[in-house]
Amino acid sequence: MISLFRRPLPFVTVMAALIVSWYAAAYFLNAPQAINLMDPDDTNNFWAVVQAAWSMDRPVLPTPDQIAANLADSIFNYPLNSPRNFLLQTAYTAETAITGLIIGTLLGTLIAIGIVHARVLDRALMPWVIASQTVPILAIAPMVMVALGNIGLTGLPPKAAIVAYLSFFPITVGMVKGFRSPDSMQLDLMRTYNANGAETFFKLRWPVAVAFLFPSLKVAVALAVTGAIVAELPTGAQVGLGARLLAGSYYGQTMMMWGALVLASLLALSLIGCVRLGEVALTRARGGRL
């Protein structure tokens, strides 16, 4: 991240190329419809067609400035508690993602501890852990909703459960690797001190494994935001960015869909930023190396 600010040119170049091709794509995708809606006399005027293609009410592909204007309108022209305000929807999704992420991290770590400390759990759990991720989340999400809804759990808990289901996996894989990282000499050393399992865990295995937690968390964050959005779809699309996405696609409101996409990626980025902050803080505490 720091290199991004010190040497911005590579990033800015790619960004510029993306924006140029975006506007070009918006022209090619929107022009046929724009021409249909235009005054027939203007259709030979290239610049007029371009302007029309870039400013349609319901474009196939909205331009970045349209998406930005639409977002700004939703954020500044509606009160924070209005469902039309994108920030409110983002907050719902963030709540789901963060709650699920915390549960997933705790669960993933607990499973990893079990797998590392008991051979029987290694054999019994690991195949299920892997199998759990081969089931498409889109198929399992509605079933979780129905099952948990039946026992009276609605709203946040079932959505957080789906996020946890997705995000525990990278944590488990990373932490199993981390807990197994101490070399035989370090383990022998603890044995010469007559350290018990808990002491070896807290003085050796955990400090080693924490370094593996951060890369796992970054993967988990991406999965958590995706999971939160997927989890918002089968509830009848009431709240959250997922609901906005679904509503947008029902009504052909592409700008609404893109707005939700932009905010979802900003949400994921800021969560990854938080993970990075934790990583930097720990690295500092360890004298500059994790």
Q: CB-wise, 80 or 185, nearer to other proteins?
A: 185
> CB of 218: closest distance to other proteins in angstroms?
20
Binding site for other proteins (CB under 8 A): 183, 185-186, 188-189, 191-195, 199, 203-204, 207-208, 286-290
Q: How far is the CB of 282 from other proteins (least distance, A)?
A: 9
Tokens matching residue 76 = 């500044």
Residue listed under structure tokens 């918002």: 232
* Contact call for residues 244 and 236 (beta carbons, < 8 A): no
Shortest distance in whole angstroms from residue 280 CB to other proteins: 15
Instruction: Name which of 236 and 287 has its Cβ closer to other proteins.
Output: 287
Give CA separation, 230 vs 160, 219, 250, 256, in Å.
11, 17, 16, 17
Compute the least distance from the CB of residue 187 to other proteins, in Å: 10
In the complex, minimum distance from the CB of residue 192 to other proteins, in angstroms, rounded to a whole number: 4
Residue 288: φ, ψ to 5°: 110, 0
In contact, 58 and 253? CB cutoff 8 Å? yes
Token representation of residue 246? 């679904």
Give CA–CA dist 181/203, Å, rounded.
Answer: 13
Q: Of 7, 173, 14, 166, which is closest to residue 101 (Cα–Cα)?
A: 166
Q: Nearer to other proteins by C-beta: 32 or 278?
A: 278
Q: Which residue has the tokens 């018990």?
A: 196
Which residue, 24 or 187, is less far from other proteins as judged by CB? 187
Q: Which is nearer to other proteins, 55 or 283 (CB)?
A: 283
CA terminus-to-terminus distance, the chain:
17
Closer of 22 and 206 to other proteins (Cβ): 206
Residue among 66, 73, 91 nearest 243 (CA): 91
As measured in angstroms, the least distance from the Cβ of 212 to other proteins is 13
